[in-house]
Structure 1
Amino acid sequence: MNIKKVKKRAYEVHGVKLKSDIKIPEVGRYEKKEGNEETIEIEKKTIERRLKKVEKKRIFKAENGRVQYEAPEIGVVAVEKGKKIYIDVDSKKINTLTRLFILATGLATALYQGGKLVLHSSAVSIDGKAALFIGDKGAGKSTMAAAFSEKSHQAIADDAVRVDASTPSIAYPGVQAFKLRRDSLSLLDESRFYVKKIDKNLDKYLVSKREKNSNQKKQKIGGIFVIKEGKNIDIRECSFLDSFAEIVRHTYVRKNVRSSMGNRIDYFNQCTDVAAKVPVYELVRPKKYSKLDKLCELIKEATVQ
């Protein structure tokens, strides 16, 4: 009996090479480089489940260098020792929601296992420097980045941004399409973007520029902006301790998952280095983006100084 081998596709994201059983149209194809290359493999595989199909909750389990996530709308994603990501879904076709989960939570977990730092952030390029937006859920990270993208600034990544704490600190390109709600879409000129509903049950759309994005290079970080809601627009640089606290707070991999995997000393050292080398700003904005142009000018000025 001949067993047909699945041809793996090669992609590049977060500074690593992906070898995947599944198509991932949300990221760029891999281009061969000189020297040793870090590779993470994505494979379809039958995985023993802990959740029953009727259960409507998300869980994770971590043991022996392996982290397993389960959710009814996604399936099962298991990440092993920073090298392998296994996916098991009920349907034959891997949908957009599952792919985005792999590219964000799955890869962020694998990168953390490999000693790398990933922030829950969106990022754009402003005059050759990366501006990163962090904040609580619904703060407007993706909306802020998409607003810059509309102003012809290239997207670097949405939702998950890998940060290198070297000198200078740099951000790597990730998924260069934004996840936005319908109310945020109304702030943009939709004719300049491709808009695709992520899932029929969610008010979330995947939004990318119609012009081809050639930004596949890592960039020096010009500033990290913590978005908070307030009555009036304001921007102020955070102290080192506040900067460190915000970076820890907005690390992509959750605290309980990080605690189960170790690497805590290296992780906190990286957070310390980024807080010491990169200016972190508290950016206060009104609930409604009525003064978006003014916000963009303040961010640009702080990023390129």
Structure 2
Amino acid sequence: MKFFKVYNLCIASEFPFPELIETEGEPDVIVRFGKIDDVTAIQHDGGKNFVGEIPEVGKCFIKDGREIVISPLPNVDESLLRTVLLGPILCVLLRQRGLLVLHASCIRINHKCVAFMGGSGWGKSTLAAAFHQKGYNVLTDDVMPIEITAGQVLVLPAYPQFKVFPEALISLGHETKNLSPIYQNASKLSYKFAHGFQQTPLPLQRIYVLDKGSEHLITKMLPQAAFVELVRHTRAINLLTEKEFIASHLRLCSELIKSVSFCRFTRKPSLEDLPNLVKLVEDDIALLTAQHDSSNTNSLKTSSDYSLATKS
């Protein structure tokens, strides 16, 4: 077995993952090949024990957030199997481990991170790649696990790879002729990068919910609207149906809304405008930071005034 680091976990795997960073240590998760028969299928409970079948790939058994057993079909495309393992299958495992897993890409700005959340083809990876091109570190592409403990919201890093449409990479000045599809006949390319990957978890500051429109605009969202979008864009939400997991998911969504600000990010569908979109987010985060610093300063003044009044 080889050992890999992804989503702040040490994974021991019989299956090779060239996308991942190799590591050492005591494994948190085991990935192995095995037979999934009727006896295994009986264990399925829509929660701690999950048995699933992926068309053109095979069957999987995901147990208690600690073990993945994969039974691939004969002659399955290995790149497709890796994509499914690192995507839908790991999403189930991460949710079994008590994490909120969103359909989002995430970048580092200053010492915190911001996320772009939305459906497939809505520009999450393209936006993250545009920020990466400008020198920002990237945490996740497409799958974003969030750990919420004691009021702290942390994003767990994925691995240094984008899955991006060729035209988006070309618009950012990248050469695509040597890049491969993420799997056979896929429309997106695999773009691996050596620098600019954030390997440690960071606190989440803001989530931008992506939308399409006739102008570029960032507007604040009310908690009710943010909650609807979180439920809509949680990964594997229809797979883990056991009552405990449904209740946990709703609780995590509520806690996230209390701790992180949400904005709707409306954009015109234009790759030429990517630099303007990056600038729009930079300005928005700068304003958010300035408001936060001003609030802290006013709090300190109020505390000082109270202290002086008490002494007098």
TM bucket by the smaller chain? 0.7 to 0.9
Alpha-carbon offset, residue 165 of structure 1: 2.2
Alpha-carbon offset, residue 170 of structure 1: 1.4
Alpha-carbon offset, residue 127 of structure 1: 2.1
Q: Please state whether the residue corresponding to 1:175 is helix, strand or coil.
A: coil
Alignment of 1:83 with 2:76, yes or no, is: no
Counterpart Cα distance in 1 of 2:184 and 2:9: 31
Letter in 1 for 2:128: A
With normalisation by structure 1, the TM-score equals: 0.84
Larger helix fraction of residues: 2
Q: Counterparts in 2 of 1:123-272, with a 5 A limit?
A: 123-166=106-149, 167-191=151-175, 195-209=179-193, 211-254=194-237, 256-260=238-242, 262-272=244-254
Moved more, 19-28 or 164-173: 164-173
Q: Please state whether the residue corresponding to 2:187 is helix, strand or coil.
A: coil
Q: Counterparts in 2 of 1:4-23, with a 5 A limit?
A: 8-23=1-16
RMSD: 2.4
What does residue 293 of structure 1 align with? 275
What does residue 283 of structure 1 align with? 265
Alpha-carbon offset, residue 221 of structure 1: 1.1
Unaligned runs of 5+ in 1: 1-7, 50-60
Q: Which residue of 18, 36, 54 maps to 1:71?
A: 54
Q: What is the CA deviation profile of residues 164-214 of structure 1, one whole-angstrom value per residue up to 9, with x for unaligned ones? A: 2233311110133111122322222214997321223221211122x3345
Alpha-carbon offset, residue 302 of structure 1: 3.0
User: In the superposition, relative to structure 1, how do residues 93 and 151 fare at CA in structure 2: closer, same or farther (>3 Å)?
Assistant: same
What does residue 42 of structure 1 align with? 31
Unaligned runs of 5+ in 2: 290-312
Q: Which residue of 2, 6, 20 maps to 1:27?
A: 20
Q: Please state whether the residue corresponding to 1:11 is helix, strand or coil.
A: strand
CA contact (8 A) 2:5 2:21 kept: yes
CA contact (8 A) 1:196 1:206 kept: yes
User: In the superposition, relative to structure 1, how do residues 129 and 259 fare at CA in structure 2: closer, same or farther (>3 Å)?
Assistant: same
Counterpart Cα distance in 2 of 1:199 and 1:102: 13
Letter in 1 for 2:184: K
User: In the superposition, relative to structure 1, how do residues 153 and 114 fare at CA in structure 2: closer, same or farther (>3 Å)?
Assistant: same
Q: Please state whether the residue corresponding to 2:158 is helix, strand or coil.
A: coil
Counterpart Cα distance in 2 of 1:90 and 1:83: 23
Alpha-carbon offset, residue 93 of structure 1: 7.5
Alpha-carbon offset, residue 246 of structure 1: 1.4
Aligned residues: 281
Counterpart Cα distance in 2 of 1:179 and 1:171: 19
Identity of aligned residues (%): 24
Counterpart Cα distance in 1 of 2:61 and 2:195: 32
Alpha-carbon offset, residue 31 of structure 1: 4.7
CA contact (8 A) 1:113 1:261 kept: no
